[in-house]
């Protein structure tokens, strides 16, 4: 309480997080062992487990910045009217996913096990609210399409196809508009 917290702990912690992030993005979550992380950091497995309460906790820490951005986006869009919120989420979520695309691919190692990982329950909750905002309504059909749109984008992040960030962004925004934004039937005649 008295002085600032010791800097040593935080320094080691963030070094572990940094190198774990790189290894997860490079080889995937399952394929990265605690020994791999410890070797790159230059410490022992036990040290990694002193700073993080198990391997899932390392992943949660790595994912935290992206998860926070999504949570902020959802909170912000939640105060907009449905159509504006939908548009905000399409561009905002795409931007976040593109920025962290190397990390997104590890989500697929994790999604099947999320039930047993309390660290990720909050992320699941945010994901459900995001889906609803993206859908623009509570219509089950529209909610289904929103989930489909999210799955498509996440899947594109761990596909072997090479794609620039700009191409991925354009693809995602185009796809989400086609899937979710109902074309105004006869609103705009050609100018």
Partner DNA sequence: GTCTATACGAAGATAGAC
Partner DNA sequence: GTCTATCTTCGTATAGAC
Residues in touch with DNA (CB under 7 A):
6, 8-9, 12, 32-36, 42-47, 49-51, 54-56
Q: Residue 191 Cβ, how far from its own copies at the closest point, in Å?
A: 15
Structure tokens at 44: 């022992």
Spatial CA neighbour of 176 closest among 100, 73, 95: 95
| C-alpha atoms less than 13 angstroms from C-alpha of 165 in its C-beta half-sphere | 9
What is the radius of gyration, based on Cα positions, of the chain? 19
Q: Residue 4 Cβ, how far from DNA at the closest point, in Å?
A: 11
Q: Residue 160 Cβ, how far from DNA at the closest point, in Å?
A: 21
Q: Residue 121 Cβ, how far from DNA at the closest point, in Å?
A: 17
Q: Which is nearer to its own copies, 49 or 179 (CB)?
A: 179
148: partner contacted, choices its own copies, DNA, none (Cβ within 5-8 A by kind): its own copies
147: partner contacted, choices DNA, its own copies, none (Cβ within 5-8 A by kind): its own copies
Spatial CA neighbour of 22 closest among 47, 49, 41: 41
Residue-by-residue DSSP string for 129-179: HHHHHHHSS--HHHHHHHHHHHHHHHHHTTSSS---HHHHHHHHHHHHHHH
Q: Which is nearer to DNA, 49 or 80 (CB)?
A: 49
54: partner contacted, choices DNA, its own copies, none (Cβ within 5-8 A by kind): DNA
- Can you give the binding site for its own copies, defined by CB under 8 A? 28, 30-31, 105, 108-109, 111-115, 124, 141, 144-145, 147-156, 158-161, 163, 167, 170-172, 174-175, 178-179, 183
32: partner contacted, choices its own copies, DNA, none (Cβ within 5-8 A by kind): DNA
DSSP state of 5: P
- In the chain, count H helices and then E strands: 9, 0
């Amino acid at each position: 309480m008295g002085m600032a917290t010791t800097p040593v702990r935080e320094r080691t912690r963030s070094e572990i997080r940094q190198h774990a992030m790189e290894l997860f993005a490079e080889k995937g979550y399952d394929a990265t062992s605690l020994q791999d992380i410890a070797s790159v950091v230059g410490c022992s497995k036990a040290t990694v487990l002193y700073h993080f309460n198990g391997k899932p906790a390392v992943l949660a820490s790595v994912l935290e910045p992206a998860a926070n951005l999504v949570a902020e986006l959802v909170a912000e869009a939640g105060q907009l009217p449905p159509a504006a919120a939908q548009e905000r989420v399409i561009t905002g979520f795409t931007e976040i996913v593109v920025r962290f695309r190397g990390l997104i691919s590890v989500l697929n190692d994790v999604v099947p096990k999320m039930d047993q990982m309390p660290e990720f329950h909050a992320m699941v909750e945010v994901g459900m609210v995001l889906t609803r905002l993206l859908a623009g309504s509570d219509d089950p059909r529209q909610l289904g399409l929103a989930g489909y749109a999210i799955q498509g984008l996440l899947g594109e992040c761990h596909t072997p196809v090479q794609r620039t960030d700009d191409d991925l962004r354009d693809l995602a925004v185009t796809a989400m508009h086609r899937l979710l934004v109902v074309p105004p039937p006869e609103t705009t005649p050609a100018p």
